[in-house]
Amino acid sequence: MKKIINTESAPKAIGPYSQAVEAKGMLFISGQIPLDPATGKFAEGGIKEQTEQVFKNIEAILTAAGYSFDDVVKSTCLLADISDFASMNEVYSRFYTKDFPARAAYAVKDLPMGALIEIETIAAK
């Protein structure tokens, strides 16, 4: 059976999807873009600030579901510009410091609402 996870501490879904779905001890977090849930606007600044906001959103959803960054097993990072990889990775490494999750990172043509980054996350207990 699946459980839908929603929290006011992360941006509301901007389409027909859930912030996250939990099933059989696994949490699947939809791709998070750098929307500040309090303002509905992007975090101000460049890739580092946007990546930081994405991680705040992921953390809020993990917490709402009873998980933490230690439970993350896979993340997929989508970048509007692959030249932002090093800056994104700098912020990423502050949230994952040991026992790193598996990861893929891709440059894509466009992201929702013109975001510079989107990160999808899978956690397991």
Q: Does 84 have pLDDT greater than 90? A: yes
pTM: 0.96
Digit-coded pLDDT (tens) for 32-42: 999 999 999 99
Digit-coded pLDDT (tens) for 48-83: 999 999 999 999 999 999 999 999 999 999 999 999
Q: Compute, in degrees rounded to 10, the torsion defined by CA atoms 3, 56, 10, 12.
A: -100
Antiparallel, parallel or unpaired: β 26-32 and 117-124: antiparallel
Q: Does 103 have pLDDT greater than 90? A: yes
For residue 27, report the phi and psi dihedrals to the nearest 5 degrees: -115, 125
Average pLDDT, the chain: 96
Domains of the chain, start order: 2-124 (3.30.1330.40)
Q: How many residues does the chain have?
A: 125
pLDDT at 112: 92
Q: In which residue are the tokens 């696994």 written?
A: 26
pLDDT at 14: 84
Strand ranges for the chain from DSSP E = 2-5, 20-23, 26-32, 72-79, 102-107, 117-124
Tell me the C-alpha distance between 117 and 115, whole Å. 5
